[in-house]
Amino acid sequence: MAQSGALSRGWGMVSGLFTEVGTMMILTVRTLISAVRSPHPYGEELVWQFLFVLRLSWFPLLVSTFALNLGAPGLQAAGILSLFGALDRLGGFFVVIAIRWIGPLVTAVVVAGVAGTAITADLGARKIREELDALQVLGVDPIKNLVVPRFLALMVVTALLDIFAIIMGLSAGIAAELLYHQPLGGFFATLFTNATITDLWSSVLMCTMFGAIVAVVCSYKGMSASGGAAGVGRAVNQAVVISLVAVFFFQFVVSSVILATNPELQAVR
């Protein structure tokens, strides 16, 4: 008896997961279709959302990327490279860390944690106050007017913030070199010999996808919030967990493919 209870609970969890992922996919497709199909009434909202996300995220992003890049790759790698007497190699290392990996990752974490939570809280509040139903009664499509502008704005903002994350990451690398009293010539020399244009476009493209994932997950969770006072809080909680796990998994898959299929990234320099 107890065993069948556990089994059915496990099955419930699995089927719930598939239902959720499927519903998010449907939302993604509907968002894409209504973004392309005319009319396009969301221009003003798009600009507003863009500025809103940028305003919320710029400060956490700059602090986070600088701190993470100074601590994790900067000081750890500089410590071990100084034992080898090869501190100029830090530049080549920062191509891997700041451009390929940590830049997109921290941008996604900050956008999910700062802008994604705000989107879920906003849409969840509208859902709880039954504003979304009211919009539908008025003949206004919530997906076209609310989800599409957030989706497009997050995609653009995340790609934009990735550039700032890379700049801050490289500044943190420079700060690590300066802490070890190194001239910066070696850092820039290895940085520029190791960096390829593939690194840059894959990083920015990856970030665009992260923005799309975060926007869809957070909009979905906000629009399906329910259950009174605890509901919106719980929706925010689930939204940020799902977006983080999805983003990390997606990044692993994408960077596996990009690293394995582009031989110029693996050439010995």
Which chain residues interact with other proteins by CB under 8 A?
55-60, 63-64, 67-68, 70-72, 75-77, 79-80, 82-84, 89, 92-93, 96-97, 100-101, 106, 109-110, 113-114, 117-118, 120-122, 124-125, 128-129, 194, 225, 228-237, 240-241, 244-245, 248-249, 251-252, 255-256, 259, 265-269
Q: What is the dihedral of CA 207, 213, 219, 225, to 10 degrees?
A: -130
Residue 168 has, within 13 A of its CA and on its CB side, a CA count of: 25
**Least separation in angstroms between CB 32 and other proteins:** 26
Residue ranges of E strands in the chain: none
- DSSP3 helix / strand / coil % (the chain, rounded to 5): 90, 0, 10
Q: What is the largest CA-CA distance in the chain?
A: 71
Burial level of 30, CB count in 10 A (0-12/13-18/19+)? middle
**Assign residue 228 a region: left if phi > 0, alpha if psi is -120 to 50, beta otherwise?**
left
Expressed in angstroms, the distance from the first to the final Cα of the chain is 64
Q: At its nearest, how many Å lie between other proteins and the CB of residue 60?
A: 5
Residue number, 17 or 33, with CB nearest to other proteins: 17
Q: Which is nearer to other proteins, 4 or 266 (CB)?
A: 266
Instruction: Classify 94 as helix, strand or coil.
Output: helix
> Could you tell me the smallest distance in angstroms from the CB atom of residue 236 to other proteins?
4
Judged by beta carbon, residue 34 or residue 160, the one nearer other proteins is 160
Report the half-sphere exposure of 250 (CA within 13 A, side-chain side): 21
Q: Residue 9 or residue 40: which is nearer to other proteins going by CB?
A: 9
In angstroms, rounded to a whole number, what is the distance separating the alpha carbons of residues 121 and 142?
16
Closer residue to other proteins, CB minimum distance, 144 or 246? 246
**Residue nearer to other proteins on the CB measure, 124 or 149:** 124
8 Å CB contact between 221 and 235: yes
| Two structure tokens written together for 186 | 């070696």
CB of 116 to other proteins, least distance (A): 9
Residue 227 and residue 125 in contact, taking contact as beta carbons nearer than 8 Å: no
HSE on the CB side for 266, CA within 13 Å? 9
Q: Which of residues 208 and 243 has its CB atom nearest to other proteins in the complex? A: 243
Closest distance to other proteins from the beta carbon of 29 (Å): 26
Nearest distance in Å: CB 39, other proteins: 30
Minimum gap (Å) between residue 79 Cβ and other proteins: 3
**Please, what is the minimum distance in Å from the beta carbon of residue 38 to other proteins?**
33
* CB nearer other proteins, residue 34 or residue 202: 202
